[in-house]
Structure 1
Amino acid sequence: MALSELPLFPLSSVLFPGGSLGLRIFEPRYLELVKRCGRSGEGFGICLILEGHEAGAPAIPAAHGTEAAIVDFAMTDDGLLGITVEGRRRFHVERTRVRADGLIIADVRWLPETAVEPVRAEHALLGVLLARILDKAGVEHDGVGKGRLAEAGFVGWRLAEWLPLSPSERQWLLQLDDPHERLQQLVDRLPDFQPD
């Protein structure tokens, strides 16, 4: 399978397909990246940082990430560029190189997108949980078992964002190809979220 070239933006958080993330841009390498992506309409890759920091020397990124598309931008109160990105396709990093300005360029293999499949009966509780979370957040939805809340992939991705998971747990869920396996991992974690 042919590889694609993708600039990377390593972060201390995980972006999921269909998810949204706000970023403050201040380093020259990322300002140039955002300018180029804004002109071309192309995306860039977001990967969890395994070693290093978001600013300064190039960090070591995880091998799995999500393509980010810029959907909005504005100046923040502190005068920095703020952008909102939306998660698109997942990818696996095959190799990386660092440009002179510190920007990491990766050769990536796009991971197959899973077909839309319904939430199985054993995971129905997760649809109810997500509906309650969305209600509290003021996010409109069609109701439990309807629209996107009937889709295994959507429910898994959104719960992976909203539940209090560690970055490494979110990364593990991102790497799973099977949406039903992702939901099972979340079901197994539910007791940990109950108050004592």
Structure 2
Amino acid sequence: MAAQLPSTEIPLFPLNTVLFPGGQLQLRIFEPRYLDLVRECTRTGSSFGVCQILEGHEAGAPATPAAVGTLARIVDFSYREDGLLGITTEGGSRFRVVRTRVRSDGLLRGEVEPWLDEETQQVPVEFALLQTILERLIETIGPQWRNAERSLYDDASWLGFRLAELLPLAGEEQQQLLEMIDPLQRLAAVRDILPRFQKA
């Protein structure tokens, strides 16, 4: 179950994507409200929340976020060729949104309840194929993980989250996998999805 920890208020960044714990996400920042968010998090060393958009758009009026999201910590900055600020974030713990409010500048803030991180569970032998599939995915589309320690492939949570972010899944499927609280259940769900990607 989700951990019953004290709630806290954080800035939210609704996106048309899902950030998983331990994952990486690169963002292009141009709206004033999100430039302010980056300044705030940089000044205080705090994280912001990434939630998938349920209704609305990334730019413009505040979007409706999913009820479960992931903390994002800024780990790098760059200025892109188009002159916009680029940031690289790393996914932390998940949280559940209790309520939201919109600041006068349009920035969405949420009162959130943090979840405890999943306990490390060894990947059972029946999911060994998923480890091989992840290795192949990383070789082709996941260069950020090429130097990952081999022991991580034996961690059911890490394996499931990496597969969920690298497989070409629909946003709803990614959100469902994010919200699962049993890492073995997540691996089973990914395994059941795989036949869709097999060549005829």
Q: Same fold by TM (over 0.5)?
A: yes
Task: Encode CA deviations 1:146-192: one digit per residue, 9 max, x unaligned.
Answer: 41011100100000011010111100000001100000000001100
| SS class of match (2:173) | helix
What is the TM-score with the length of structure 1 in the denominator? 0.96
What is the TM-score of this pair, normalised by structure 2? Answer: 0.94
Kindly, what percent of the aligned residue pairs are identical? 52
Q: How does 1:30-45 map to 2 (within 5 A)?
A: 30-45=34-49
Instruction: Report the residue type matching 1:35 in the other structure.
Output: R
1:184-195 matches, within 5 Å, as 184-195=188-199
Equivalent-residue separation in structure 1 for 2:101 and 2:117 (angstroms): 26
Describe the superposition over 1:73-118 as per-residue Cα deviations: whole angstroms up to 9, x where unpaired: 1111110000000000100001001111111110000012111111
2:6 touches 2:114 (CA, 8 Å); kept in 1?
Answer: no
Question: RMSD over aligned Cα, in angstroms?
Answer: 1.0
For the pair 1:9 / 2:10, whether they are aligned, the reply is no
Task: Tell me what 2:139 maps to.
Answer: 135
1:121 and 2:125 aligned: yes
Q: Separation in 1 of the partners of 2:195 and 2:148?
A: 26
| Counterpart in the other structure of 2:103 | 99
Unaligned runs of 5+ in 2: none
Give aligned pairs, total.
193
User: 1-side partners of 2:30 and 2:187: how far apart?
Assistant: 37
How far apart in 2 are the matches of 1:133 and 1:61? 29
* Aligned partner letter, 1:42: S
What is the Cα deviation at residue 140 of structure 1? 2.6
How many angstroms apart in 2 are the aligned matches of 1:25 and 1:12?
15
Structure 1: 5+ residue runs without aligned partners?
none
Query: Aligned runs of 1:62-81 on 2, under 5 Å?
Result: 62-81=66-85
